[in-house]
Amino acid sequence: MEDYNVAPVASDYNDDSIVHLEDMEHIRLRPGMYIGKLGDGSSHDDGIYVLIKEVIDNSIDEFTSGYGKRINVKIDFGERRVSIRDFGRGIPLGKIVEAVSKLNTGAKYDSKVFQKSVGLNGVGTKAVNALSSYFKVTAVRDGQCRTAEFAEGRLTSDSGIVPSSEENGTLVEFIPDNKLFGNYHFVNEYVERRIWNYAYLNKGLTLYYNDRRYYSKNGLLDLLEHNMDGEGLYPIVHIKDGDFECAFTHVNGQNSDYYYSFVNGQHTTEGGTHQSAFREAFARVTRDFFKKDYEPAVFRQGLVCALCVRIQEPVFEAQTKTKLGSTHLAPNNADGTNDSPFLKTYVLDILKRHLDNYLHINAATAEAMLQKINQNEKERKEIAGIKKVARESSKKASLNNRKLRDCHVHYNSNHARRLETTIFITEGDSASGSITKSRDVATQAVFSLRGKPKNTYSISKVDVYKNEELNLLHNALDIDDGMDNLRYNNVVIATDADVDGMHIRLLLLTFFLRFYPDLIRTGHVYILQTPLFRVRNKQKTTYCYTDDERIEAIRNTSNAEITRFKGLGEISPDEFKNFIGKDMRLDPVLLHKDFDTKGVLSFYMGENTIERREFIMDNLRVEDDESIVVA
């Protein structure tokens, strides 16, 4: 827990205070500088996935340079070993050790070799090496190969250059170090999503992930069709022009615009200048076409877009490359000037030509888009008055009821710990009190529900603003106008492990899926797992999350005292520190490609009482102790 007002402790500052760290030592000491947060694999932006990305990025750069049309990716989930093999040119054999172990070493500094690469800082593979307990690289070039092995970034073996009959390319194998990442695990869906993105963005490339083939014929058009929740209001508009590509349509039931945005194949999950350029250009072109003097947000509300630009030597806001900072298609000249196209002007010119022409030619699409825009404007006017009153009410209620115990750091800040920011949504004062006393006030906030929130399946957005609890919640998250202002990276539903707790969980998920699906789609929502049992004696205490763990703990504990936690409020603050700290167990809420959101919500949260009752009765099972539980 950080105290931001504590005076520094006096200490000697002399020659001995100056310490030199080798490249690999520095990465291991400050991993956050290179891969963001560490994490245990529960979150899509945890470090183990960044390690995979850094290696594949190098293979993609080979493909985009014209070498190698296939990449093989394998993950052994038991050993947690990752293997990535491309069929490009292979790392030059004489420099293979330096290329994976010396910072500021690589070919990406030479724009003649890699014109529009993702990796430009000579860091990626070195970070993978340093943060792995085992790392092996093999390069094959024209009948020769060389293999080097490392442990925690230290060279352990080097085969030297030997003959080989293998195809040209590079093979990298690594096991992330559990001394750094803890008891981590790979979530298959997170990896698969990244593999698909590589396929969508690289026409002609075939990837094999654990022997399954991933290939896209139509690029971003395929991405949008495969990931869009529901049907578009008009056929997807697909525009390709030089280094720019986009695909988009409008959908109903979405509060803001949503983007799958990329730069040189890198998924910029936090957007950046290219995404801002598109948003501004889209609103301007459609406003001019329809001659409607509405606010820019009205034209974009409900827009779902996949967007990619390729630029030379892109500038990102961090090594993890999730937000673009470049303003031009190429870097500045040596004298500080820049004669390459301005990114905003480049995107606007393309949309002016292509989108304006498309709408003139496709009258049905233009009419559907206009209807959606007019509907957005009508809703905006309807909500405007309620919103103003609701926000004032929200501020007063927040102060009076103290429903939100905020933290010091927020996700939309530039603080180094922004990825750790978490809000726990709890039920009742007892549970929220325990978490509040146990939390890290720097990065963990608590929002306390009064009871069961309203079922939002069949209500309108206007009703959300009229409901004090829901209004307070979305204001606390600051997501009313989209994800740009989201205050917490992790939105954690922390409810009791009983029927009421499960019901509250479903009601919250219904609220997010109905009005803020992007919150789930972008991987920000989790379920907190807390122990069901405590098994202890005078020597040790074991917390058990399942019946199997309880049985095993009893078997290994003599004279055991067994406690069943019926609710979060029964767990003391001292104990809660064990469950919301660095070893916190979170289950991510994932939306699979074929998940029927509308159908699922209709069945489970709608008014189909008879069908749901029949489903429950058909799926009841009777345990040996004759107690009845839902399967």
Predicted confidence (pLDDT) per residue in 43-54, tens digit: 998 999 999 999
Q: What pLDDT score was predicted for residue 266?
A: 85
The parts of the chain modelled with pLDDT lower than 70 are: 1-11, 13-21, 104-122, 318-320, 387-402, 621-631
Per-residue burial over 180-215, b = 16 or more CB atoms within 10 Å of its CB, e = otherwise: bbeebebbeebbbbbbbbbbbbbeebebbbeeeebe
Residue pair 223/591 in contact (Cβ under 8 Å)? The answer is no
- Return the DSSP state at 582: T
Per CATH, the number for 23-214 is 3.30.565.10
Q: What pLDDT score was predicted for residue 454?
A: 92
SS (H, E, C) 396-444: HHHHHHCCEECCCCCCCCCCCCHHHCEEEEEEHHHHHHHHHHHCCCCCE
List strand residue ranges (DSSP E) for 256-325, in order.
Answer: 258-263, 266-267, 303-309
Sequence-ordered list of residues with C-beta below 8 angstroms from that of 223, at least 6 positions apart, any chain = 196, 197, 200, 216, 247, 260, 306
Query: Where does the chain hold its CATH 3.30.565.10 domain(s)?
Result: 23-214
Q: What pLDDT score was predicted for residue 121?
A: 44
3-state DSSP percent of the chain in helix, strand and coil, to 5: 40, 20, 40
Q: What pLDDT score was predicted for residue 426?
A: 93
Specify the CATH architecture of the domain 220-331+341-379. Answer: 2-Layer Sandwich (3.30)
Q: What pLDDT score was predicted for residue 599?
A: 85
Q: What pLDDT score was predicted for residue 288?
A: 97
Q: What pLDDT score was predicted for residue 113?
A: 44
Q: What pLDDT score was predicted for residue 105?
A: 60
Query: Where does the chain hold its CATH 3.40.50.670 domain(s)?
Result: 402-530+565-595
Q: What pLDDT score was predicted for residue 628?
A: 33
Radius of gyration of the chain (CA): 27
Query: Where does the chain hold its CATH 3.30.230.10 domain(s)?
Result: 220-331+341-379
Tell me the C-alpha distance between 366 and 351, whole Å. Answer: 15
Q: What pLDDT score was predicted for residue 627?
A: 36
Please give the CATH topology (third level) of the domain spanning 402-530+565-595.
Rossmann fold (3.40.50)
Tell me the C-alpha distance between 288 and 87, whole Å. Answer: 48
Q: What pLDDT score was predicted for residue 630?
A: 33
Quick one: CA torsion of 364, 370, 372, 377, rounded to 10 degrees?
A: -170
Closest CA to 305 of 271, 354, 343: 271
